Amino acid sequence: MDTAPVLSTIAVLGGTGKEGKGLAYRWAKAGYRILIGSRNPEKARAAALEVLGLLGDKVFVEGTTNTRAAELAEIVVLAVPYAAHRETLESVSEALQGKLLVDVTVPLVPPKVTKVQMPPAGSAAQEAHAILGQNVQVTSAFQNISHELLFHPEPIECDVLVTGTSKEARQETLKLVVAAGLTGWDAGPIENSVVIEGLTSVLININRESGSTNAGIKITGTHSGSTHYIAL
């Protein structure tokens, strides 16, 4: 009898981008079934093959449209550029009802990407919640992780702050953080998303000042030492 736990199916919308593909890679490796979504299903299938090429055929990764990925998954991760944020959410809103959306989007406004410039809703995550309605739980996470580091198996020295519309949604998202090999922290209600999303501009600023490319943050000073793992 097979007693291995059945892990959820995760749709990564915009999973052909660097951030999305990196997350898909890490979650597939952890045993989740992954649907990479894109407006262009051919590109989605190519990204799925790229992940499979690294992990072999014991993992489940498929490419399809954003809509179909959102329909088939229990958890939906939004990793599109901010310019496609609203349009993508509107196109999958029906499929998302009753599910959890993890918003990875950073609302950068080029060319001033070192300056925090939030949408009128207060943050991309709050904007997502306004578009999707009260029947969708929304969390915000992973904005501060360098996408160059995600698509490799090495440990990443950057913690993940998670905000969200309910404690349950944040706990569910913290499981995904741990599954991706990272340390996560419950950073409070969805209104706190401005801090996480805005921190990306601060880190870009620090990268420019210090000549680095992978500035991140670690939470310090807690009783459990410098890291705090949430149990799966």
Q: Does residue 111 have a cis peptide bond before it, meaning omega lies within 30 degrees of 0?
A: yes
Question: Among 30, 54, 72, 215, which residue interacts with its own copies (rule: CB under 8 A)?
Answer: 215
198 binds its own copies, rule: CB under 8 A = yes
185 binds its own copies, rule: CB under 8 A = yes
Tell the residue number behind the tokens 């990443």, with chain if given: 156
C-alpha to C-alpha distance for 178 and 30, rounded to whole angstroms: 10
134 binds its own copies, rule: CB under 8 A = no
C-alpha to C-alpha distance for 23 and 45, rounded to whole angstroms: 16
219 binds its own copies, rule: CB under 8 A = yes
Interface mask toward its own copies for 83-122; x: CB under 8 A: -------------------------------xxxxx----
Residues ≥6 apart with Cβ < 8 Å to 52: 59, 61
152 binds its own copies, rule: CB under 8 A = no
For residue 167, give the amino acid letter: K
Residues ≥6 apart with Cβ < 8 Å to 1: none
Per-residue tokens: 210: 């210090």
155 binds its own copies, rule: CB under 8 A = no
Taking the complex as a whole, how short is the minimal distance between the CB of residue 229 and its own copies, in angstroms?
Answer: 11
Please choose, out of 3-11, 56-64, 91-99, 208-216, the segment that lies near its own copies by the rule CB under 8 A: 208-216
Contacts of residues 166-174 at CB distance under 8 Å and 24 or more positions apart, as own/partner, are 166/137, 168/137, 169/100, 169/137, 169/138, 169/139, 170/139, 171/230, 172/75, 172/100, 172/139, 173/100, 173/102, 173/139, 173/141, 174/230
Nearer to its own copies, 30 or 219 (CB): 219
Nearer to its own copies, 7 or 195 (CB): 195
Question: Among 7, 30, 121, 195, which residue interacts with its own copies (rule: CB under 8 A)?
Answer: 195
157 binds its own copies, rule: CB under 8 A = yes
Could you list the residues that contact its own copies (CB under 8 A)?
A: 114-118, 146, 157-158, 161, 185-189, 191-192, 194-196, 198-199, 201-203, 205-207, 209-212, 214-224, 228
